[in-house]
């Protein structure tokens, strides 16, 4: 009785396991060689798409059979709420697929941000709707500027995330990293942070999980990048935690010049659209 009581006490003290991050993996019924298809082959290609256990990392966005919104939201949530797990085991895949995800995420994120700005503008300038209705030239200018700004902002956000991912690969190379070439996919899937933590995603989180869930998600836009970067450098490049922190800081310096150039081009693009 005493042994069973102590065992029950230990089991009750355990923290409940969070299985939501297990959407990343899929266990095949039969593991075969990616090169020849033979289940007895030890691997006739240099880079195997599976681990030795046969567990294949699958991003929900790249998983067939799921609905569009489910794939988008699950991937964005994993990349933001479970950034360490997601980016430490980021699998290889097509860059084009990750680019589509990035563009969709930023389109939703920028649209929600634009609606918020529009509401603030209406509160600050209540007479603006009447002016737009009366002045055709003003209405066209505002509409053209808004569409151009949204288009340029989407491309800019995707470019900034991609630059950050490439900079992580470059920094890891200097510190003896491995598995190069996934930095671009890191940056593109990092666009999920913006979908979850900007107004549109926070509204959806509040509607689905309550205000407390939205409040917990809001600061992840600031914390997820550091957690994801270090997890990527440790899990994908095999760096130690201390070296990963140094490489992440080096990557931040690598991105400074390209980021400033990208922002300058974005401002120039919007200015040209308004002419």
pLDDT at 31: 42
Cα separation, 137 vs 270, whole angstroms: 18
- Give kind and range of the element (H or E) at residue 52: none
Q: What are phi and psi of 44, to 5 degrees?
A: -100, 10
C-alpha to C-alpha distance for 182 and 185, rounded to whole angstroms: 5
What are 26's strand-pairing partners? 56
Q: Tokens at residue 159, please? A: 């470019």
Q: Residue 136: is it exposed, middle or buried by C-beta count within 10 angstroms (0-12/13-18/19+)?
A: exposed
Count of residues for the chain? 275
In this structure, is the dihedral angle defined by the CA atoms of residues 185, 191, 192 and 197, taken in order, positive or negative? positive
Instruction: Give residue 101's pLDDT.
Output: 98
pLDDT tens per residue, range 203-241: 999 998 899 999 999 999 899 999 999 999 999 999 999
How many other C-beta atoms can be found within 10 angstroms of the C-beta atom of residue 270? 18
Query: How far is 88 from 236, CA to CA, in rounded Å?
Result: 6
- For 66-75, the CB contacts below 8 A with 24+ separation are 72/101, 72/104, 72/105, 72/195, 73/204, 74/23, 75/101, 75/189, 75/192
In the beta sheet, which residues pair with residue 56? 26
The residue among 103, 93, 94 whose CA lies nearest residue 72 is: 103
* Averaged pLDDT score across all residues of the chain: 80
Give me the phi and psi of 51, to 5 degrees please: -80, 170
Q: What is the pLDDT of residue 274?
A: 65
Q: For residue 39, give the 3-state DSSP assignment.
A: coil
Helical residues (DSSP H) of the chain, grouped into ranges: 2-13, 68-81, 83-88, 95-124, 128-134, 136-174, 183-189, 192-197, 199-209, 211-217, 220-235, 241-274
Give me the residue spans of the domains in the chain: 1-58, 65-274
The whole-number average pLDDT for the span 76-85 is 94
Going along 17-90, which residue ranges are E strands?
25-26, 56-57
Cα separation, 194 vs 75, whole angstroms: 12
Q: Which of 24-28, 146-150, 194-198, 259-263 has the lowest mean pLDDT?
A: 24-28
Residue 259 scores a pLDDT above 50:
yes
What is the structure's pLDDT at 219? 92
- Token pair for residue 88? 């430490």
Contact call for residues 226 and 254 (beta carbons, < 8 A):
no
Number of Cβ within a 10 Å radius of residue 61: 25
pLDDT tens, 112-135? 988 888 888 888 888 888 888 888
Taking residue 34's Cβ as centre, other Cβ atoms within 10 Å add up to 14
pLDDT of residue 151: 92
The predicted structure's pLDDT at residue 7? 47
């Amino acid at each position: 009785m005493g042994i069973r009581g102590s065992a029950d006490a230990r089991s009750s003290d355990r923290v409940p396991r969070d299985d939501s991050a297990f959407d990343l993996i899929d266990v095949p019924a039969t593991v075969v060689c990616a090169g020849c298809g033979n289940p007895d082959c030890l691997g006739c290609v240099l880079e195997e798409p599976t681990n030795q256990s046969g567990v294949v990392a699958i991003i929900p966005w790249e998983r067939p059979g799921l609905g569009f919104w489910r794939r988008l939201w699950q991937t964005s949530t994993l990349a933001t709420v479970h950034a360490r797990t997601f980016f430490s085991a980021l699998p290889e895949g097509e860059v084009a697929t990750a680019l589509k995800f990035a563009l969709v995420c930023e389109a939703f994120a920028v649209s929600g941000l634009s609606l918020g700005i529009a509401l603030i503008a209406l509160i600050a300038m209540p007479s603006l709707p009447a002016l737009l209705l009366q002045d055709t030239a003003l209405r066209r200018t505002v509409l053209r500027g808004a569409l151009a700004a949204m288009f340029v902002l989407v491309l800019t956000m995707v470019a900034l995330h991609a630059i950050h991912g490439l900079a992580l690969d470059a920094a890891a190379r200097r510190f003896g990293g491995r598995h190069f070439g996934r930095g671009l996919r890191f940056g593109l899937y990092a666009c999920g942070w913006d979908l979850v933590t900007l107004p549109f995603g926070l509204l959806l989180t509040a509607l689905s999980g309550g205000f407390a869930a939205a409040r917990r998600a809001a600061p992840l836009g600031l914390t997820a990048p550091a957690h994801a970067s270090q997890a990527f450098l440790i899990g994908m490049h095999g760096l130690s935690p201390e070296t990963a922190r140094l490489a992440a800081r080096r990557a931040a310096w690598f991105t400074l010049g390209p980021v400033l150039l990208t922002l300058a081009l974005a401002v120039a693009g919007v200015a040209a659209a308004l002419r």
